[in-house]
Amino acid sequence: MGEWLYLVIGVAVLAVVVIVGLVTVGRRRPVPPVEAPDSQAPDTPGSDTLAPPRPVEAPEDPTHAVVEPLEPEAPTAVPTPVVEKPEGTASRLVRLRQRLSRSQGGLGRGLLAILSRDRLDDDAWEDIEDTLLTADIGVAPTQELVDGLRTRLRVEGDSVDVRAALREELVKLVDPTMDRTLKVSGADGAPGVVLVVGVNGAGKTTTVGKISRILVAQDRSVVLGAADTFRAAAVEQLATWGERVGVPVVRGPEGSDPASVAFEAVKQGVAEDVDTVLVDTAGRLQNKAGLMDELGKVKRVIEKQAPVTEVLLVLDATTGQNGMVQARVFSEVVDVTGIVLTKLDGSAKGGIVVAVQRELGVPVKLVGLGEGPDDLAPFDAGAFVDALLG
């Protein structure tokens, strides 16, 4: 009997311990918050929208809350890059010519206002000279234009159409006979190779991106070489330009040898039989010898794969005489074959076109007229002068 009593007491104690234990555990375990799908709770700042859906624990007690079945979150798709279609040539040119007139029209209007005075005395001609010099045309071209115009007005007298005469003289200065075609095709099945040089901030990377868009719009295949390895952001910038139009970008680690990146880019272009390889370079103008070493090596190494068909020097039109000094240094270091004048939208000094062509004997082939992706226009002497005349 005593044994039975001990056994009953033992079982009772065990039962009490188990019940107390269960109650305690049940209290400690938090009930997971269950958000209704239309919860107004704000998103946690910094929450990662690509994180997988949180597992939702069912509450211990099914009577604790009515749990509505959670709708499974839609799987997060990896965004596929949308390849943009660059703007067509016709609408781009109309838009950019208007922008050129807006920025440069003041020069022509200023000249025409002086030329329409009743008496064209020495003061008037001096005003014309000042207006041309202010627009950065340069001393010698200014003198040529003034002499040409004075002679015509003297010879032709009152019958002369001043606007037409001024237009003719300006076109002569800009020189419509220069070959401004961009050499983007190679010979014997090799791709065209365009090397883009210039000082930091002139707009090289932007220009490479814009040219690639023009080529893509013309259904040409393109490879970009990010040989500006000096500035990591420049490589990223170029990669973004490439992604936007579905053009591959060959890049190396930060600080790597620009020549080896250029070599790899052209190698890929040859292997993939593309039409054009565009190579962006760094523009550190630390000293002429360093620049010469770097750009010389880039060019030499590229030419183990395919000849360079065009060397474009990018100049910022807003830098005036400083830009001319840079132009001189670069042209002594590499054989520049064409000039890209950027930021003409932000400067009324379009006369630099004349000055820089005279200085280098190389044509301006393209002009940058804004930060937009399609704000690059081929240069045309007549259209440029028409924009100057407003």
Residues 179-198 close enough to bind ligand GTP by CB under 6 A: 198
Beta bridge partners of 339: 313, 364
Looking at 87, 136, 169, 228, which residue binds ligand GTP (CB under 6 A)? 228
Nearer to ligand GTP, 208 or 388 (CB): 208
d(CA 38, CA 106): 60
Nearer to ligand GTP, 105 or 346 (CB): 346
Measured CA to CA, the distance from residue 382 to residue 385 in angstroms comes to: 5
Residue type, 190: A
* Among 200, 221, 260, 268, contact with ligand GTP (rule: CB under 6 A): 200
- Read off the tokens for 118: 């009743």
Residue of the chain from 186, 203, 258, 350 that contacts ligand GTP (CB under 6 A)? 203
Listed in sequence order, the residues at least 6 apart from 89 whose beta carbon sits closer than 8 Å to its beta carbon are: 214, 217
| From 159-167, 257-265, 303-311, 337-345, span contacting ligand GTP (CB under 6 A) | 337-345
Query: In the window 270-329, what residues touch ligand GTP (CB under 6 A)?
Result: 282-283
How, if at all, do strands 376-378 and 222-227 pair?
unpaired
347 binds ligand GTP (CB under 6 A): no
Residue 343 touches ligand GTP, criterion: CB under 6 A: yes
Task: Pick the binder of ligand GTP from 205, 212, 305, 337 (CB under 6 A).
Answer: 205
Q: CA–CA separation, 194 vs 196, rounded Å? A: 6
* Piece in contact with ligand GTP (CB under 6 A), picked from 151-159, 260-268, 330-338, 340-348: 340-348
- Residue 248 is a binding residue for ligand GTP (CB under 6 A): no
Q: Over the range 110-136, which residues count as b (16 or more CB within 10 Å of their CB) and which as e?
A: bbeebbeeeebeeeebebbbebbeebb
267 lines the binding site for ligand GTP (CB under 6 A): no
Place of tokens 């395919």: 306
Nearest CA among 328, 341, 389 for reference residue 168: 389
Applying CB under 6 A, what is the total number of residues that bind ligand GTP? Answer: 22
Tell me the torsion sign for CA atoms 348, 354, 360, 363: positive
54 annotated binding-site participant = no
Told to check if 346 binds ligand GTP by CB under 6 A, we report: yes
Name 167's Cβ contacts closer than 8 Å, sequence gap at least 6: 385, 386, 389
| Lookup: tokens for 121 | 């005395």
Q: Closest approach of Cβ 341 to ligand GTP, in Å?
A: 8
User: Where on the chain is the footprint of ligand GTP (CB under 6 A)?
Assistant: 198, 200-206, 228, 231, 234, 282-283, 342-343, 345-346, 368-371, 375
Give the annotated binding-site residues for GTP: 198-205, 280-284, 342-345
